[in-house]
Chain A
Amino acid sequence: MKLTAGLHAEYLSFWRKKKPAVLFSTLFKKFRSILERNIRIMELMADIGDKLSGEYIFDRQYIYTITEELNNLLRQHISDLGDLEQHKNTELFNSFERIHNRIREEISGKYAVSEIPFTRFPEELLTAPNHTLDELGNENIIMGEIQNILKLPVPDGFFITTSVFSDFMKYNGLVPHVREYFDRLEKGEEKPADKVFKDLRAMILNGEFPKPIVWDISAATENINRKAGHDLVSYAIRGCASIKEKGSAFKPQCKTFLNVPQRETLNVYKEILADLLCSPELKHYPEKDFAVSASFFSMIDSGISGFIRTLDPEYPEKETITVGATFGLGGGLKDAIGNLDHYIVSRDPPHHVLSMEVTRKDRMLTLRREGGTIWMNIPHYTCRAPSLKPSRIKYLAETAIMIERYFKRPLEIMWCFDRKENLFILRTNLLSIRNSNSNVILPVEAAIRNAKVLFSGKGTVVQGGIATGKVYVVRNDEDLERFPTGSILVSSQTSPRFSRVIRKAKGILTGIGSPTGHLAAMAREFRVPTILNCGTAAKELKTGDEITIDAACNVVYCGAVMELQRYGLMQEDLFEESEEYLLLRRLLKHISALNLIDPYSRNFTPAGCRTYHDIMRYIHEKAVQKVIDLSKTYKHRRHVPVRRLETDIPLGIFIAEIAEEIKPGVGSRIREEEVNSVPMRALLQGLHESGMWSTKPLSVDMGSFMSSLTKTFSYSLSGPNHTGMNLALISEEYMNLNLRLGYHYTIIDAFIGDRSEDNRISFRFFGGVTDFSRRSMRVKFIGTILERFDFRVESHGDLIIGRIKKAAKSRMIGKMKLIGGLIGYTRQLDVQIGSQNSLSSRVEDFINIIERTMEVDGEQHDK
């Protein structure tokens, strides 16, 4: 590159006297590569987030490629910091290797620590690596997600993993016996199956558990006792058998044992195994593909129990929910047929009861003091009463639809209300729907063709899926408080406050908003179909309008396209259940999460880095510090490569010149007129001539300020401000400026020379105090301005990037002036902008002023 070519041999012999001298320009080159690489790493992290929206088609190759690029960038980053600091960063490299290995394990599916624990608590599933499905089975994973993500009430309890099953089988030498019995069945022994299995059953029931299993289960039950505050907890124990063979039609049936006292839990578990293994259907499956886990939930003394089906399996087009309910324990449901109340409820909120059939319920199943259950007669004056009040039916329907929306499948949910009328979710199964595939295609296709499109391709999809419902426009906190369950949230902008109602919302549409912001993350977490940045299209919608969002295709239809909603529920393969989606989500935990927030905290160390983002953050901080240290080292020397810029505007910029020749005798300060860099001079001119810089202090409301401080700390706040220094690396044609002003962090990288081919400007802007919606407005403002002046604009959350290249020198100078004006104007812009209207007027005001400033040598700017 021209700016570094032919540099004089300026040695830093005075810097580290006893070490070999290092070219000053070499150190700056390292610093610059770190800054440039930071930007690329941030772009890649934002890119991975985008791919989770469901809007993109990607494959494993994408995952390999992007993680490999990140690995290489991080390696080079560490190496460059080592060169800059003149020592090896062994500790940092170890941290990188640790994270890299975890990423590699996730991608290969082979974990260094592959031992599966014997027990798992549901709350552990949030952080456990990806062998949870294999170790727990789908039914238990669903219960974990209902508790952890949807935050719905599930009884206290724990799971027994498949490793208990495999260790028990091995410990008791049962594996060959199972095969032998299956072989005998295969050969067509004349004995009936139950006779063949009699001995095997006895062997299983007489089996013993290895000690570590007993200890682990005992520790888990003690934990549950502690939570309950007594040691009389009894359990509902249910086995969960899984067969690895994809598409296996055989679903082993497991029964639930109720009110099992602690002393009996292991015996009951053996009964579950015996029931499952002595099943003739198993002969078709090799032992290695068959596994058993179990759930141990503390027993709820329920007053009412039942099931709820979110769609009629026989007639899905009826769009109804079926509820079955009876008094007492849910275990009585099977035997209560004929004694069960039935309610048919509308799927649409407010879930009107369409029909009900209340039967005479003579008896109910209850808990027996010494364990197990007992049938009790119901007094004649209550036996004809409906088991459920309308308010409870509505509550059940709302809860069931919320669970269905998350799993994107019709469900059958077992539930109960305890004696204090608290609802508990006991079990959730996927519901098989008749004609679930081919027959839904034709009606959906016709329905889409006939449906009126309100808008299409207008916004950014942050979570795919289909939502049908009534619009509810949220303008303020009061609207939010009144948000009706099952509505579609429409707003001109996003707000972190929307997370309060996200579980109630069927879908979300906003005029503006950040695809990597807080709301987007919440929408993905709860899988609420969401399109942001719909612009004025969202403005046309009014509360009460019925619409259908097809977020995967980025289309919003007028009215309820029920065929489309049913189609969404009946899809065979869900993106959110695909291996690639789950893998990308797990990888993000090792890549994008930021733990190193405060550079002055104790854990701000190489060993404290737990993710790639942490490493990047650490390196950036150390690199900036190093350059500042270098400037201090040179302060009283004859050659001063870092000098403070003297200017009327308090920018606090230090200039580091990467000149072909470092001139002797220059002082510690540099005046504006002495700056010989074309891009830097243009930038300063833009600031001065536009008059955009306002020194008048603007008030920031404390709520906004606190909201900014309490939000997840992002890289955007990790600028050179911590050290109070804004640094510009310049040469005659080049400038790299890292500028922190207030809470905005700007990076400009520009080359402006005589050859149009070489010219480029990259402008990156992020951060900012005040609440999220105003920051989004600011992103919109900058984006609009840059686009109006031919920049290619991308935005990722708070970060906005504008690029322009290969334009003539005079035009590029005009663009730099524009950026100067933007820096001055946006310094406190998000504090000033209040609404969409004021945003539009400010865009026009800004353009009117900057047009005059951008004129260069008599040329008109090219808006």
Chain B
Amino acid sequence: MVNNMTNSGSNLKKLQILILDDEPIVCKRLKPAFLKAGYEVETFTDSANAMARTLDKNFDIVITDLKMEGMSGMEFLTEVKKQSPRTEIIVITGFATLEASKESFQKGVFNFVAKPFKLTDILEMVKQLKNERFKNVI
């Protein structure tokens, strides 16, 4: 399923992105946009499943909601950072409070985005991350 080769046969890996949001519409809209932009994307609407997946695979970027049933986004991102400190995290939330933002940044997230947001903005954010932090991926 995962394609690690470009058409030209280069060994450069694609940027690996995990998206977690319990509202399916967010995953349904973000996934094709990131795929089209050339990234490898996996989406989850359940934090437990997403957590299980991160145990198997290290993602370059995790985009996560905060308020979810079961394991919250904050707990999830804390765990992800613990397992893989190099993973960059972008929080997307409809409950963008100052406290949540402060806590997220303290835990080392790259950015904190209030929903609704522009599709182009998050694509741009990921592009910026890729250029700054993941130069060995395509």
Interface residues, chain A, CB within 8 Å of chain B?
51, 54-62, 65, 441-442, 444-446, 448-449, 457, 552-554, 567, 571-573, 575, 578-580
Contacts and interface: CB of A to CB of B under 8 A. Distances in A.
Contacts of A572: 28, 32
26 contacts: A51-B116, A55-B118, A55-B119, A56-B116, A56-B117, A56-B119, A57-B118, A57-B119, A57-B122, A59-B21, A59-B116, A60-B23, A60-B25, A62-B115, A441-B35, A445-B38, A446-B7, A449-B38, A553-B33, A553-B36, A553-B37, A571-B32, A572-B28, A572-B32, A578-B28, A579-B25
A459 to B, nearest CB: 11
Contacts of A445: 35-38
Contacts of A51: 116
Nearest to B113: A57
A822 to B, nearest CB: 29
Contacts of A457: 120, 124
B30 interface: yes
Contacts of A553: 33, 36-37, 119-120, 123
A578 B26 CA distance: 11
A65 B94 contact: yes
B29 interface: yes
B3 interface: yes
A553 B25 CA distance: 17
Interface string B28-60: 111011011110000000000000000000000
Contacts of B123: 553
A542 B120 CA distance: 26
Given A59-B23, A578-B28, A580-B25, A441 B36 contact: yes
B16 to A, nearest CB: 15
Contact of B115 (A59, A444, A573): A59
Nearest to B93: A61
B26 to A, nearest CB: 5
Contact of B28 (A442, A449, A552, A573): A573
Given A55-B120, A60-B23, A553-B119, 10 more contacts: A57-B30, A57-B119, A62-B94, A62-B115, A62-B116, A552-B33, A554-B120, A573-B28, A578-B29, A580-B25
Contacts of A62: 94, 115-116
A442 B115 contact: no
Nearest to A55: B118
Nearest to B25: A580
Contacts of B35: 441, 445
Given A55-B118, A57-B119, A59-B94, A575 B29 contact: yes
A282 B23 CA distance: 31
Contacts of A554: 120
A57 B115 contact: yes
B7 A444 contact: no
Contacts of B7: 442, 446
A448 B116 contact: no
Contacts of A449: 38
A552 B119 contact: yes
Interface string B94-123: 110000000000000000000111111011
A174 B94 CA distance: 48
Contacts of B94: 59, 61-62, 65
The 8 closest A-B pairs by CB, nearest first: A58-B116, A61-B94, A59-B23, A445-B38, A573-B28, A56-B116, A580-B25, A554-B120
